[in-house]
Amino acid sequence: MTPRAKTTATIAAVAIVGFLIWRRKPIATVTTSEAFDLSSIGGPVTYPAPIKRFAEAIARAEGFYVAGSIPQRAHNPGDLKMPNWTGPTLGSGISVFQSDGAGWSALYRQLWIIVTGSSGNYYLDMSIEQMAAKWTATEQSAWARNVAGFLAVDPSVSLVSVLV
């Protein structure tokens, strides 16, 4: 093999390894990532508009704006079940936050974790439909259609298209 061919092969191998490292999915250290504290990794104080818009879509799909719904009573627009939650719960373990603001912060934080690649459950290359299959236990297709409809995209669109 000529020196030029060796150099080309080395560059190609480094590029492939780099691509595989970049594309690898993180291994979660907990069952779900909702409760990660972002302060140690510089989580934002304010969140980008795409995260807020996606959170709004989730809140609508979860029924947060329906009077008397569990997400509304729980101050939990994402209908999140926080791991290791020691506070009150409603329904099948939905975490109850002290205020709507605290619930919105938890939902934004979960979406930030997805965007930064720190979630062990959700990845930016997932579609909204695939996210629905993990996010909600009931009416997954309707949830995906509702979220996608609010965002004016198809449910098959990848999360990177709407979160970044």
For the stretch 2-31, pLDDT in tens is: 766 666 655 654 555 445 445 544 433 322
Q: What percent of the chain is modeled with pLDDT above 90?
A: 62
Q: Which residues contact 65 (CB under 8 A, 6 or more apart)?
A: 59, 72
| Between 157 and 41, residue with greater pLDDT | 157
Q: State mean pLDDT over 137-148.
A: 95
Q: Is the pLDDT confidence value at 121 over 80? A: yes
Looking at residue 12, its pLDDT comes to: 54
Give bridge partners of residue 150 from the DSSP assignment: none
Tell me the per-residue pLDDT of 86-100, one tens digit each, with 9 for 90 and over.
999 998 889 999 999
Tell me the per-residue pLDDT of 61-72, one tens digit each, with 9 for 90 and over.
999 999 999 999
Averaged pLDDT score across all residues of the chain: 82
Pair 114, 47: CB distance under 8 Å: no
Model confidence, pTM: 0.73
DSSP string, the chain: --HHHHHHHHHHHHHHHHHHHHHPPPPPSSS-STT--GGGGT--SS--HHHHHHHHHHHHHHTTTSTT-HHHHTT-TT----TT--S-EETTTEEPPSSHHHHHHHHHHHHHHHHTT--SS--TTSBHHHHHHHH-SS-HHHHHHHHHHHHTS-TTSBHHHHH-
Q: Is the pLDDT confidence value at 104 over 90? A: yes
Looking at residue 9, its pLDDT comes to: 52
Give bridge partners of residue 157 from the DSSP assignment: none
Q: Is the pLDDT confidence value at 36 over 90? A: no
